[in-house]
Amino acid sequence: MFEHLWIPITLIASCLQTARNATQASLTATLGPVGAAQVRFLYGLPFALIFLALQLAVSREGLPPIGARTVFFALAGASAQILATVLMLAAMQMKSFAVTTATTKTEPVLVALFGVVVLGDRPSLAAWAAILVATAGVVIMSLRPSKSSAGLLDRGGAPAIALGVLSGGCFAIAAIGFRGAILALPGGSFYLRATLVLVLGLGMQTLMLLLFLVAFSRPALFKSFAVWRVSLGAGFLGAFASQFWFLGFAITSAANVRTLALIEVLLAQLVQGRLFAQRGTRQDLIGMVLIVLGAGALILASS
């Protein structure tokens, strides 16, 4: 009954995530990368708890028991998501934004591979083709020549490429971890299981980053309280987006969700006013066409 619901759910999540990224971008200069990342978890957790309370009140369901397998997968997903962000920022500090973007966007392929090994999710041949086509589109759009060099030889060189691939791998592990945690819950509706894992994951991430900031960067933590209005907006959008991501993970494989989510690249271009820019390059056009074709083929393969 709900097998195709993941498609609109993922599209909604992509729109919400684009809005969250735009809101959160202004916080990075004030709070630093770690402080701005913490806002997503600290201010998002209360909203996730509200989502869970509302679902319990409306559905009258009881919470399923949280076993060791659920905790293990949720902890793996929460930790991997934080590590992925750190690695991505480290690669970008090497002044290799193009390389970092391209290599982290190999995530859907890695998600599919990890999903087969860890969860037994097996995409069809048509789905594999769609994943590869959409990922290729993002890589083509991302690999822009720099002033000093071109393509994968951009200034960060091999270290930046390695960090970017590791970041994409960690993002993939995070997606598999959260889907694994949802599947490990012994009962409950798909939306209740998704929201319970969302609360569990955000709680773990909030605790980990709070301990880090208290130990190493207290000013960033205190500054997040000073800009609480913007932080609250970013936290809400982050929790709302994650709610839909996790609903998608509860219905279908993480590979399907993360591949269709590449539509975010086009949404980000639109937000920045670049999608319809008069000076769009042929490289942009080819990349966008491949993303749309891959996303469409994935939907057809899943029908």
pLDDT in tens, 155-213: 455 676 677 778 888 989 999 999 999 999 998 999 999 999 999 999 999 999 889 88
Q: Is 1 within the bounds of a domain?
A: no
- DSSP state at residue 61: P
Q: Is 241 within the bounds of a domain?
A: yes
Q: Is 152 within the bounds of a domain?
A: yes
Q: Render pLDDT for 112-150 as a digit per residue (tens, 0 to 9).
A: 888 888 988 888 888 889 889 888 887 777 665 544 444
Query: What is the per-residue burial (b if ≥16 Cβ within 10 Å, else e) of 258-280?
Result: bbbbbbbbbbbbeeeeeeeeeee
Which residues span the domain enclosing 13? 6-301
Closest CA to 294 of 254, 258, 260: 260
What CA–CA distance (Å, rounded) separates 47 from 117? 33
- Domain count along the chain: 1
What CA–CA distance (Å, rounded) separates 266 from 270? 6
Distance in angstroms between the alpha carbons of the first and the last residue of the chain: 12
Global pTM value:
0.82
